[in-house]
């Protein structure tokens, strides 16, 4: 990567004293009501002993704990963490181990016996809608528990209401996952997800609607542009700037009241830090790491929310290659917080259960209208196409085996003058998307835009929105070792199967569209939905 020039240093950030929220107490009556509520809404209990991660939307996920898979998927969370106020010197894993001992006493029942609550798998509801008496009963339980919270005097009432709402959302998603026929006709004025493009279209749809109904994001206002509240909107890093701009402009999911927020956004731009702080050719990224650490220290002293969850309900977003390394400047940011990264490299600490893979989108103008759409399969004479620089561990192998070797597999390091890159993609059935120095590639989104089936080649890369989208239904994944067999692999896909894959790629295209202002189900909202899913996997507890 070419290093940008250094312009200036960030200004000093001021700090204010930390504010601590009131902490909770317990009562027998409250626990009885809460127990009833947990059973009514299938509130998912924490099982701290599970080491494998489950998928929200796929019961056959290879990441799913085999015992859970065999039992019918009674636990849907990837991994549920219980974070308590006042605990500052540990990662989520430490807290999960402590949960095994403490048994979730503030929020779970059975504390007197010292055993954690473990709910059995919830039976699928009937196909008929929930009857009105049951709805009224659940409403009564809701009112009762909230009144008990208010009477307790020692609880963080707003936090409890937030966690209560998340518990109901979990139950609704579980219901959709277990009883697809119940939600087949769930109304939506814009779009109803359906088909093999999704791991579980019904659960995704319910989850998305739940997000729209309750999810709120608070954006910290500390810091000044351009390092904070700014980012590139016309470059290979445009995902970073576009999200910051959309989040801070007029998002319906943003709240100005931090007490109402489910997650908290740290609006710094790693791209701008590299441009303004990094000394070219110095190989010294410590100033970037210190800037992030100083910023987190400011908000941790000024607000109670970072310390309350040890950063577990906070997220950062970066499309720069150095995003993972810069995030390591603060241990809790790296280990606990949700990191939304283009460089979603599991070999560099990317954790799919809490981190989000950010699509890398190379925008050269304000509009994507000129790079969306393509011909049908019968008007694509080229089997596969790639053009790109010779860097990283994979591209040299691709160029060695296929550059100027075959008219069906057209691989170039540089296109000839006058040849359009996008036109070549439009003429191709498959678009090869190998990793470079880092795992992400803008070619994946470009292929979807131009309705060319992506062929991904790379290791350790978590594809964007892969907990929602079934990438195998509309793309081809090839290992580095299979590069010599690339043509035979693609030729083995029948014309009928290719047409299905291309049509599904066009469906998936919706979720990668960049709109200004954002529209439902587009890339901006899909990023937020991925953050929403990670927040569902965390339970923040008030503490005595």
Residue 79 has pLDDT above 70, yes or no: no
- Quick check: is 23 in a domain? no
Percent of the chain with pLDDT over 70: 70
Q: Where residue 449 falls among pLDDT bands split at 50, 70, 90? A: very high
Same domain, 253 and 305: yes
pLDDT for residue 270: 96
Same domain, 226 and 101: no
**Count of structural domains, the chain:** 3
Same domain, 166 and 186: yes
Contacts of 57-66 with C-beta under 8 Å, sequence gap 24+, read 57/177, 57/198, 57/199, 57/200, 57/203, 57/204, 57/467, 57/468, 58/199, 58/200, 58/470, 59/177, 61/199, 63/352
- Quick check: is 494 in a domain? yes
- Quick check: is 205 in a domain? yes
- Quick check: is 392 in a domain? yes
pLDDT for residue 41: 33
Give the CATH number for residue 434.
3.40.50.2000
More confident residue, 125 or 281: 281
pLDDT for residue 367: 75
Query: In 3D, which of 240, 236, 209, 169 has the Cα closest to residue 442?
Result: 236
Q: Where residue 161 falls among pLDDT bands split at 50, 70, 90? A: very high
For residue 212 the two structure tokens come to 């729209």
Q: How far is 256 from 178, CA to CA, in rounded Å?
A: 36
Same domain, 461 and 531: no
pLDDT for residue 56: 56
- Quick check: is 20 in a domain? no
Same domain, 183 and 250: no
- Quick check: is 3 in a domain? no
Paired strand residues for 228? 268
Minimum mean pLDDT range among 48-52, 330-334, 335-339, 442-446? 48-52
Per DSSP, the three-state class of 219 is strand
- Mean per-residue pLDDT, 172-176: 88
Q: Where residue 18 falls among pLDDT bands split at 50, 70, 90? A: very low
**What residue ranges in 253-408 does DSSP mark as E strands?**
254-255, 263-265, 314-318, 338-341, 356-357, 382-387
Q: Which helix (H) or strand (E) holds 190?
A: none
For residue 239 the two structure tokens come to 């995902």
Report the relative pairing of strands 314-318 and 356-357 from DSSP bridges: unpaired
- Mean per-residue pLDDT, 183-188: 68
Handedness of CA 42, 43, 49, 51 (dihedral sign): positive
Same domain, 34 and 99: yes
pLDDT for residue 15: 30
Q: What is the largest CA-CA distance in the chain?
A: 78
Q: Which helix (H) or strand (E) holds 456?
A: strand 453-457
Q: Where residue 81 falls among pLDDT bands split at 50, 70, 90? A: low
pLDDT for residue 254: 97
Same domain, 59 and 207: yes
> Which of 176, 197, 212 is the last residue before a domain boundary?
212
Domain span holding position 76: 28-212
Same domain, 332 and 379: no
- Quick check: is 435 in a domain? yes
- Quick check: is 459 in a domain? yes
More confident residue, 150 or 131: 150
Same domain, 58 and 112: yes
Q: How far is CA 76 from the centre of its chain?
A: 16
Same domain, 398 and 495: yes
Residue 229 has pLDDT above 90, yes or no: yes
Same domain, 50 and 97: yes
Secondary structure of 501-518 in HEC code, one letter for each residue = HHHHHHHHHHHHCCCCCC
> Which of 156, 181, 212 is the last residue before a domain boundary?
212
Same domain, 203 and 318: no
Q: Where residue 147 falls among pLDDT bands split at 50, 70, 90? A: low
Q: How far is 56 from 73, CA to CA, in rounded Å?
A: 10
Q: Which helix (H) or strand (E) holds 412?
A: strand 409-412
More confident residue, 82 or 443: 443
Q: Where residue 251 falls among pLDDT bands split at 50, 70, 90? A: confident
Q: Which helix (H) or strand (E) holds 477?
A: strand 476-478
Its pTM stands at: 0.77
Q: How far is 521 from 429, CA to CA, in rounded Å?
A: 26
pLDDT for residue 44: 29
């Amino acid at each position: 990567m070419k290093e940008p020039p250094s312009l200036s240093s960030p200004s000093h950030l001021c700090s204010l004293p930390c504010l601590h929220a009131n902490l909770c107490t317990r009562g027998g009556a409250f626990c009885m009501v809460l127990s009833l509520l947990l059973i009514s809404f299938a509130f998912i209990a924490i099982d701290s002993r599970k080491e494998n991660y489950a998928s929200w939307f796929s019961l056959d996920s290879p990441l799913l704990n085999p015992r859970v898979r065999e039992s019918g998927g009674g636990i849907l969370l990837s991994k549920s963490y219980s974070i308590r106020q006042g605990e500052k010197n540990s990662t989520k894993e430490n807290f999960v181990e402590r949960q095994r001992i403490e048994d979730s006493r503030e929020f779970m029942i059975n504390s007197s016996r010292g055993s954690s609550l473990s709910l059995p798998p919830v039976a699928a509801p009937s196909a008929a809608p929930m009857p009105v008496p049951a709805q009224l009963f659940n409403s009564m339980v809701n009112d009762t528990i909230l009144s008990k919270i208010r009477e307790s005097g020692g609880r963080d009432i707003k936090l409890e209401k937030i966690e209560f709402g998340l518990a109901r959302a979990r139950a609704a998603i579980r219901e959709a996952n277990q009883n697809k026929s119940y939600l087949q006709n769930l109304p939506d004025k814009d779009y109803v997800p359906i088909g093999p493009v999704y791991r579980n279209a019904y659960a995704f749809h319910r989850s998305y609607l739940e997000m729209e109904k309750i999810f709120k994001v608070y954006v910290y206002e500390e810091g000044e542009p351009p390092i904070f509240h700014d980012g590139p909107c016309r470059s290979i890093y445009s995902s970073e700037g576009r999200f910051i701009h959309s989040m801070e402009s007029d998002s319906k999911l943003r709240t100005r009241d931090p007490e109402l927020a489910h997650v908290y956004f740290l609006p710094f731009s790693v791209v701008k830090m590299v441009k303004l702080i990094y000394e070219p050719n110095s190989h010294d990224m410590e100033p970037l790491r210190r800037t992030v650490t100083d910023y987190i220290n400011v908000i941790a002293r000024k607000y109670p929310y970072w310390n309350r969850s040890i950063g577990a309900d906070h997220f950062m977003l970066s499309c720069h290659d150095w995003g993972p390394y810069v995030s390591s400047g603060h241990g809790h940011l790296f280990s606990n917080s949700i990191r939304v990264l283009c460089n979603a490299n599991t070999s560099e600490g990317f954790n799919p259960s809490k981190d989000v893979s950010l699509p890398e989108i190379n925008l050269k103008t304000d509009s994507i209208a000129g790079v969306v759409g393509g011909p049908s399969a019968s008007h694509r004479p080229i089997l596969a196409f790639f053009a790109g620089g010779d860097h990283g561990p994979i591209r040299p192998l691709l160029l060695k085996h296929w550059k100027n070797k075959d008219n069906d597999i057209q691989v170039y390091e540089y296109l000839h003058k006058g040849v359009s890159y996008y036109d070549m993609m439009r003429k191709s059935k498959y678009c090869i998307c190998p990793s470079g120095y880092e795992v992400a590639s803008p070619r994946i989104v470009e292929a979807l835009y131009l309705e060319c089936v992506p062929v991904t080649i790379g290791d350790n890369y978590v594809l964007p929105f892969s907990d929602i989208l079934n990438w195998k239904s509309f793309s081809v994944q090839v290992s580095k070792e299979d590069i010599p067999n690339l043509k035979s692999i693609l030729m083995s896909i029948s014309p009928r199967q290719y047409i299905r894959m291309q049509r599904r790629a066009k469906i998936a295209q919706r979720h990668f569209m960049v709109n200004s202002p954002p529209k439902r189900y587009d890339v901006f909202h899909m990023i937020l939905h991925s953050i929403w899913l990670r927040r569902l996997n965390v339970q923040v507890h008030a503490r005595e």
